[in-house]
Amino acid sequence: MVEAAVPGLIFTAVWLPTDNLRWALIASLGVAGVALVLRLAQRSSVQYVFNAIFGIGIGWVFVQWAESSGATEDEKKLAFFLPGILISLAYTVVLGGSCLVGWPALGFMLGAVAEDPVGWHDNPQVVQLCNRLTWVMLLPGAIGVLIQGPIWLMGDRGTISADLAVTLIFALRTVLGWILRIASWSAMIWLLARNATPLEPEPDAA
């Protein structure tokens, strides 16, 4: 998970104070490249490295779109954070919707590991557990959208300066975002570690 966050942090840490997009891209992609080589050497998953590269790439696309519209440097920086907010919103809607319809997304992850995509749904206890885990998992993104979204809109509409909006969003994403993620992971581990965690259907009483 760390390699998913560090390249983005490097990008914003270089770009925000210097306004040098090229050096920010070089620094962040260089870090991502090192992480990719290490992962390949360890024969472990490179998913999070590519997630980081994708995040930087789509942010760059939004920056270019803002630049083509005549945006100022601060407005381009604000545009960089928009896709992250939109992705978190979509993530929250999809995960929350899966819980509301009774097919929590975490269940499909469990099914993939067990090589039985929908068998978990036959056990009400497992469904309930996956429902709780999914709600816990979506909370960091949902809270991020609820806080960062209004700040982004205020910066975009001029209620507050774009520079202030960028600073607040960066701080929230870097500090509060990781606090919420760690709290979410801890809560999920606690739920899974409870003695009542259902792994198999309980036998019928004699």
Tens digit of pLDDT at every position of the chain (206 positions) = 566 677 778 887 888 788 777 888 888 888 888 878 887 887 777 777 777 788 888 888 898 898 898 888 888 889 989 999 999 999 999 999 999 999 999 999 888 887 788 888 988 988 999 999 999 999 999 999 999 999 999 999 999 998 899 889 988 988 888 899 999 999 999 988 875 555 555 555 44
Domain layout of the chain by residue ranges: 1-70, 72-200
Which pLDDT belongs to residue 198?
Answer: 54
Residue 84: closest CA among 147, 3, 154, 22: 147
Which pLDDT belongs to residue 9?
Answer: 80
CB 173 within 8 A of CB 144: yes
DSSP 94-116: HHHHHHHTT--HHHHHHHHHHT-
Both structure tokens of 91:
């993530």
- Give pTM, 2 decimals: 0.81
The C-alpha angle with vertex 134 and arms to 133 and 140, in degrees rounded to 5, equals 100
Q: How far apart are CA 104 and CA 119, in angstroms?
A: 13
Residues 6+ apart with CB under 8 A from 86: none
Which pLDDT belongs to residue 206?
Answer: 44
